[in-house]
Amino acid sequence: MTVRSTAEDYTKEKKAGEGTYAVVYLGTKKSTGRSIAVKEIKTSQFKDGLDMSALREVKFLQELRHINVIELIDVFMASDNLNLVLEFLPADLELIIKDTSIMFSPADIKSWILMTLRGVHHCHRNFILHRDLKPNNLLLAPDGQLKIADFGLARLMGSPQEVLTSNVVTRWYRAPELLFAAKHYTSAVDIWSVGVIFAELMLRIPYLPGKDDVDQINVTFRALGTPTDKEWQEVSSFSNYNKIQIYPPPSREELRRRFIAATENALDLIDGMMIMNPANRWDTVRCLQSPYFQELPEATLPQDLPKLNK
Partner 1 sequence: MSNQSDLVLSRPYLTKAQLQRCQKYSIPDRRAYNQKRLLVFKYLGQLCVQLKLPRKVLEATMYFYHRYHAFNKFETEMCYDVGTSCLFLSCKQVETFKRIGEVCSTALKVRNVPRVTPDILDAFKKRVIQMELRVLETCSFDYRINNEVHIDEFIIKIGRELSFSYDCCRLAWLIAFDVLKLELLITVPSHTIALAVLKLACELLDEIKWPNVRYNLFETDAPSFNEAYFDILNFYINVFDACDLKDHDAVRDLNLKIETFIEIKKNAGLEYGLTVNPIALDKDDYVSKERNFGVKERRYVLKKDSLLEESVSKKRSISDVS
Rounded to an integer, what is the distance from CA 218 to the centroid of its chain? 23
Instruction: Please state, in angstroms and rounded to a whole number, the distance separating the CA atoms of residues 224 and 287.
Output: 19
Stretch that binds partner 1, among 6-14, 86-94, 271-279, 287-295 (CB under 8 A): 6-14
Beta bridge partners of 210: none
Stretch that binds partner 1, among 20-28, 69-77, 143-151, 239-247 (CB under 8 A): 69-77
Beta bridge partners of 15: 25
Nearer to partner 1, 58 or 203 (CB): 58
**Under 8 Å between Cβ of 177 and 189:** yes
Is 132 annotated in the active site?
A: yes
Nearest approach, Cβ of 124 to partner 1 (angstroms)? 15
Instruction: Please state, in angstroms and rounded to a whole number, the distance separating the CA atoms of residues 18 and 25.
Output: 9
Nearest approach, Cβ of 133 to partner 1 (angstroms)? 19
State the DSSP code for 27. E
Here's the x/- map for partner 1, 108-147, by CB under 8 A: it reads as: -------------------x--------------------
Rounded to an integer, what is the distance from CA 115 to the centroid of its chain? 11
**Under 8 Å between Cβ of 93 and 136:** yes
Instruction: Please state, in angstroms and rounded to a whole number, the distance separating the CA atoms of residues 194 and 114.
Output: 10
User: Which residues, in sequence order, are CB contacts of 80 under 8 Å at separation 6+?
Assistant: 43
User: Which residues, in sequence order, are CB contacts of 190 under 8 Å at separation 6+?
Assistant: 120, 123, 124, 129, 130, 131, 133
**Number of chain positions touching partner 1 (CB under 8 A):** 37
Looking at residues 236 to 275 of the shown chain, list those that interact with partner 1 (rule: CB under 8 A): none
Nearer to partner 1, 64 or 219 (CB): 64
Nearest approach, Cβ of 45 to partner 1 (angstroms)? 11
Describe the crossing of helices 188-203 and 106-125 by its angle, rounded to 10 degrees.
Answer: 170
Here's the x/- map for partner 1, 174-213, by CB under 8 A: it reads as: ----------------------------------------
Looking at residues 17 to 36 of the shown chain, list those that interact with partner 1 (rule: CB under 8 A): 31
The residues of the shown chain that bind partner 1, judged by CB under 8 A, are 1-9, 31, 43-44, 46-50, 52, 55, 58-60, 62-63, 74-80, 82, 127, 155-156, 158-159
Which residue numbers are catalytic? Answer: 132
Instruction: Write out the binding residues.
Output: 39
Instruction: Write out the binding residues for ATP.
Output: 39
